[in-house]
Amino acid sequence: MRAALLRSVGADPDADVPVSAIADVADATDAMRRCYRQQLLRIAASDLTRPDPLSSLPGVAATLADLAAAALEAALAIARSEVPDHHRVRLAVLGMGKTGGRELNYISDVDVVFVAEVAEVAEPVDGADAADDDTLDPADLEQRAMRIGARLASGMARACSSTSREPALWEVDAALRPEGKQGPLVRTLASHVAYYKRWAKTWEFQALLKARPVAGDLALGEAYVEALSPMVWTAVQREHFVEDAQAMRRRVEAHVPRKDADRQLKLGAGGLRDVEFTVQLLQLVHGRLAPEIRHRNTLGGLAALAQEGFVGRADAARLAVCYRFLRLMEHRIQLYRMRRSHLVPTDDRDLDRLGRSMLITPDAEADVTTELLVRWRHTRRDVRRLHEELFYRPLLPATAQLSAEDAALAPEAAGARLAALGYRAPDAALRHIAALTEGVSRRAAIQRQLLPVMLGWFTEGPDPDAGLLAFRALSEEIGSSHWYLKLLRDSGVAAQNLARVLSSSQYVSASLRRSPESVQWLAEDGDLAPRSPELLEAEMEAALRRLEGDVTAGATRVRYLRRRELARTAVGDVLTNLEADTTPGISYAADAALRGALRIATMQVCQARGLEAAPTTQLIVAMGRLGGHELGYSSDADVMFVHDPLPGVDASDAQSFALAVAQQVGSLLGQTGPEPALEVDATLRPEGRSGPLTRTFAAYTEYYGRWSAIWERQALLRARPVAGDDGLAERFLALIDPVRYAGGGLDDTNLRELRRIKARVENERLPRGVPATRHLKLGRGGISDVEWTVQYLQLLHAHEVPGLRTPRTLDALAAAAGAELISAEDADTLRQAWRTAVRARDAIVLATGRTNGAKIDVLPLDRRELAGVAQLLGYGPAAGTEFEEDYLRSARRARVVVERVFFGE
């Protein structure tokens, strides 16, 4: 094509500097334009007859770009014939945009940039200025060369786009040059370099990504690319580079006229620019360390990004198909009447013609127009979705902010960076990094993208060393799963959330290793919301129905469900700094586990005794913190077991059966194994440990009617049926309500006994060596103090204040304040102290991973552990002392209220 176009203007294709030999410039221009259009029609004719236009589109676009480059060369030859001293300048034409990327449309502006240098002239040329160049200083020579270059560039543009007997080819657009239309048309290479070093904006480096020599002095053009390339691939380190690129895309979209927004193939949402901007931004962010992705062509760049692991293969494949489809629509729209347009037509005849030209084949029940519009709508939707997922990745600005050495994880730089970030053992961290990133596998390639950024995110938690170690363990466990690394790379928040929870919570780290699929929750906030009791009940019911008869599998499923929900609530608590007063999801999971365990245990005992059905109805009553939906991560499940023999059943047989079931419930949930145990504690039953594990409803009726003590009445305040027969549950509530909400409140004898028991608990149950001010549960102003005070108010007034008839501590406290049984100020003091102690207790478990032992109830003395707990509760780094002072202050104030309200002092 180049040779044909040069010959059409009378230029020698083999000459080093082709010059038109035709004296009449207008004739040469017309001849060049006719030759161009002949070539264009050949390309179009071939294109329209191809059986698979989508596959052949990249080749067609490249051919069109090559044809445009040939036309520029011929036009420059014409311009040289008008400029006698053209030999004094070396002029290179750089194709930009689609011309540079070899992905041109049929009808499009051709974006160019001009670069010129003074040429070494051996001897004057006929007709040229014969002035002795030796008499001019270098600055004068350069200025003359720039004037000549500008005349050549202008002449070239006129040959392509000015009015003539033949239609213009296209506009030669040099607006992408430094300073845009306000800047000089032609600059030296040094001037270009100086501009880009000092003044260039973000978008200008993005534009340079596609720069390619297309005409004129190709050696100078290559020198231009070589000189500016290092700046292109380090531009990402400029402040706010990624944010500026993202803002520019939004501005482009905002300028699309509203009436055309749904028809815009190029600039609108889900259009060509979404794909192109996405590919270019990913290239610019990662290309400084990955030369393999430095492609001028969009589809080539996309394929390289997928090959190197920067984009998922499936996402890249879908984006490529969508891009081809949009470009083919654009080509076919422009081919009709050879008009430049990026708007999808609205007329049905035009749409039908467009669809047929694209070889759209509809289903039997659809027509071409319908099928075209459906495919276009799906394409736009998929492009927009992938654009938003990839273009706005949080990894991009974070990666861009890293130095090249940090982003490359170079050992000599990484060790210093790790130490500066706060890693206590940089050498160990380097070993973890090496284990994750060494090799040529796709997994290692993606880890090399993730880790430079995640190393910083780990430091947002109190223990980055533990976070990195946990990440390595998790990655080695599930790194080969197709979704894991893709999720971390592509999700908007998953990688950062994972880094935060792993470096903040040993409990969560262990939970995620036991159920790695839980990592997927980190991508969606909705997945971290506690499952409602109804959803858990339905899931439990469905699972046990499928496993009917398989006791072992059923028990495993029950424990798995609870462990999964503990992990879900733990992750949510860490990411929200335990902002809620309690975590009801823990209690919901325990409820579901008790219901499942009761069902399995009943079935198991029936099988062992050869029974078809249970001889007695059964009920599990939640007590204590479980009854109030206030379980923590280390809490036992306080319960009571109730049963009621069926008519005609021997009482001893029924009792034996119910006892066996109760024991089996405790065994199923409390046994050690891969799933966390739930200790079932029935010591709050009548007569405590001395009484039978389970009683008949009649025995409960007799006991509460004759012998119940004040502490048992107090315990019943939090009783809540949780599993078993609904009818028996209603009868049991009807039985205990008159006991726990007895009319007349507390007499003096019961009041003295209640205070005596509380004082004894303080004196005898507080562990030796633990200051009373630091024990979160039993200490002064701690959990027990607040709960006993609230329960005291319930025992006194629940018979006349319905709002106090609740097992939940804070609800009862709010009701007491509402009824003016306690001042609003005192109620707020107690609420703050209770909430602080409860959440601190949970934070200790989350931070350390310990779920039992005396330490989980004690405000840590170890400064590092205290800081970790504080940070989980929303305090800043190294704010352990601040949290400690806040807790001690709130507990001290609460104790004053307790002594005044509960003890009457």
Per-residue model confidence (pLDDT) at position 123:
53
Using one digit for the tens of pLDDT, what is the confidence trace for 326-346?
999 999 999 988 888 889 999
Q: Determine the Cα angle at 600 with ends 598 and 605, to 5°.
A: 95
The C-alpha torsion from 379 through 384 and 387 to 388, rounded to 10°, is: -150
CA atoms within 13 A on the CB side of 47: 24
Give CA–CA dist 145/156, Å, rounded.
16
Using one digit for the tens of pLDDT, what is the confidence trace for 191-234?
999 999 999 998 999 999 999 999 999 999 999 999 999 999 99
DSSP element (H, E) containing 522: none
Positive or negative, the CA dihedral 352, 356, 359, 362 is positive
Per-residue model confidence (pLDDT) at position 130:
47
Straight-line distance from the first to the last Cα atom of the chain, in angstroms, rounded to the nearest whole number: 103
Using one digit for the tens of pLDDT, what is the confidence trace for 147-189?
999 999 999 999 999 988 999 999 999 999 999 999 999 999 9
Per-residue model confidence (pLDDT) at position 122:
52
Per-residue model confidence (pLDDT) at position 124:
53
To the nearest 10 degrees (0 to 180), the angle between helices 348-357 and 313-335 is 120
Per-residue model confidence (pLDDT) at position 672:
73
Q: What is the CA radius of gyration of the chain?
A: 39
Outline where 671-725 has alpha helix (H): 697-706, 710-716
pTM for this predicted structure: 0.81
Residues 6+ apart with CB under 8 A from 856: 634, 841, 844, 845, 848, 850
Per-residue model confidence (pLDDT) at position 297:
96
Per-residue model confidence (pLDDT) at position 618:
97
Under DSSP, the state recorded for 264 is B
Per-residue model confidence (pLDDT) at position 862:
92
Using one digit for the tens of pLDDT, what is the confidence trace for 408-432?
787 777 888 888 888 999 999 999 9
Q: How far is CA 277 from CA 267, 272, 295, 653, 898, in A?
A: 11, 9, 13, 76, 64
Residues of the chain below pLDDT 70: 122-134, 549, 905
